[in-house]
């Protein structure tokens, strides 16, 4: 199947990679935005909670029980999912209430924006100022940041939590794609510290899924890729290199926040990075294998692909929270 090299769209987690243009964050299409604080539902009782490994239906108390056992909570999102962001808000509120001083980390904010985040948290910068001075609008478009993400920052601020800008500046991710990791190492230390990369690129199912979703058309069924047939000069390899720079940088940001059972780190991140033992999960484990991690995949509906775990393959996540159930 021919790859459309000007725009490879990763459906799960909604990573849009412009191979011949700018490599930016995950941008959602312009749609009507509803503030998650204005939903007239009790989100904790309205969504479906599923244990993918045991195929059991759970409730909200089970979500918090799983989180209780974890140092790190990875909330895999669809970036344009209103109910999904409301779920994130509920989880962050509950974590900040039960575990004071916990940390909210975001894929949507870049490390060189941390000073602006700190200014907002200290009341020096307004919410509008934070939105205008960061790349945050790229993740919501047409008011999405203010409607979906800003309320989660506000909830963290009100509860005395910390906010971490977890991602790498996109200009350096682009550099990793075009010039390789060697060019990243050549940066002066004050800029080199803004991005990390893996010791070696991930293999296994994560790399396979990257190729599969990059190469399939919207209306076509995803076809399994034989990675042994991928040539060393495959045009997707530099893109995967940049994907892994995102994974490694966010993983190191999580580890740097020093998560514990009593001071958890909750990361908002695109689904693809964390599902099925994704690259971000692998990178956290490499950097600190002692950390306990719970991965929550937040879905609009039950995915068509096989999300159930087996003895030989990982499930989609430790928990799956679903807005609606497919018949």
pTM score: 0.89
- In this prediction, residues 266-286 reach a mean pLDDT of 97
| Res 298 pLDDT > 90 | yes
- Cβ contact 297:76 at 8 Å: yes
| Res 150 pLDDT > 60 | yes
- Cβ contact 91:296 at 8 Å: yes
- List the Cα angle 102/105/107 in 5-degree steps: 165
Instruction: Indicate the SS3 state at residue 139.
Output: helix
- Total length of the chain: 327
- Between the two ends of the chain, the Cα-to-Cα distance in Å is 32
Using the CB atoms, write b or e for 59-76: b if 16+ within 10 Å.
ebeebeebbeebbbbbbb
Task: Give the per-residue pLDDT at 223.
Answer: 67
- In this prediction, residues 81-94 reach a mean pLDDT of 97
- In this prediction, residues 110-123 reach a mean pLDDT of 98
Task: Give the per-residue pLDDT at 86.
Answer: 97
- In this prediction, residues 67-92 reach a mean pLDDT of 96
- In this prediction, residues 287-294 reach a mean pLDDT of 98
Place of tokens 């096989």: 306
Instruction: Indicate the SS3 state at residue 199.
Output: coil
- List the Cα angle 296/104/264 in 5-degree steps: 70
- In this prediction, residues 69-93 reach a mean pLDDT of 96
- The least confident of 36-45, 99-108, 116-125, 224-233 is 224-233
Q: What is the DSSP letter of 250?
A: H
Question: What band does 13 get if pLDDT is binned at 50, 70 and 90?
Answer: very low
| Res 4 pLDDT > 60 | no
Per-domain residue ranges of the chain: 8-324
284 versus 232: the higher-pLDDT residue is 284
Task: Give the per-residue pLDDT at 219.
Answer: 55
- In this prediction, residues 262-267 reach a mean pLDDT of 98
- Cβ contact 281:74 at 8 Å: yes
Q: Domain 8-324: state its class.
A: alpha beta
């Amino acid at each position: 199947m021919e790859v459309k090299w000007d725009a490879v769209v990763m459906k799960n987690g909604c990573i849009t990679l412009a191979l011949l243009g700018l490599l930016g964050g995950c941008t959602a299409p312009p749609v009507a935005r509803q503030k998650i604080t204005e939903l007239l539902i009790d989100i904790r009782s309205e969504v479906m909670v599923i244990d993918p490994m045991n195929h059991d239906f759970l409730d909200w108390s089970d979500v918090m029980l799983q989180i209780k056992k974890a140092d790190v909570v990875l909330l895999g999102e669809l970036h344009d999912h209103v109910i999904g962001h409301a779920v994130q808000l509920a989880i962050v509120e509950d974590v900040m209430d039960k575990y004071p001083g916990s940390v909210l980390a975001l894929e949507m904010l870049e490390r060189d924006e941390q000073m602006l985040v700190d200014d907002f948290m200290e009341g020096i910068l307004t919410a509008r100022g934070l939105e205008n001075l960061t790349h945050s609008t790229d993740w919501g478009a047409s008011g999405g940041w203010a409607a979906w993400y800003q309320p989660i920052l506000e909830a963290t601020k009100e509860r005395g939590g910390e906010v971490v800008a977890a991602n790498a500046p996109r200009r350096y991710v682009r550099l990793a794609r075009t010039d390789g990791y060697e060019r990243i190492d050549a940066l002066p230390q004050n800029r080199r510290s803004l991005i990390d990369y893996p010791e070696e690129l991930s293999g296994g199912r994560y790399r396979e899924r990257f190729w599969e979703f990059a190469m399939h058309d919207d209306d076509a069924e995803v076809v399994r890729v034989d990675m042994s047939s991928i040539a060393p000069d495959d045009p997707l390899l530099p893109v995967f290199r940049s994907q892994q720079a995102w994974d490694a940088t966010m993983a190191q940001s999580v580890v740097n926040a020093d998560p514990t059972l009593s001071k958890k780190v909750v990361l908002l991140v695109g689904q693809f990075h964390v599902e099925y033992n994704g690259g971000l999960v692998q990178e956290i484990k490499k950097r600190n294998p002692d950390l306990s991690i719970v991965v929550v995949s937040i879905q609009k509906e039950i995915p068509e692909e096989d999300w159930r775990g087996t003895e030989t393959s990982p499930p989609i996540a430790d928990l799956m929270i679903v807005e609606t159930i497919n018949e």
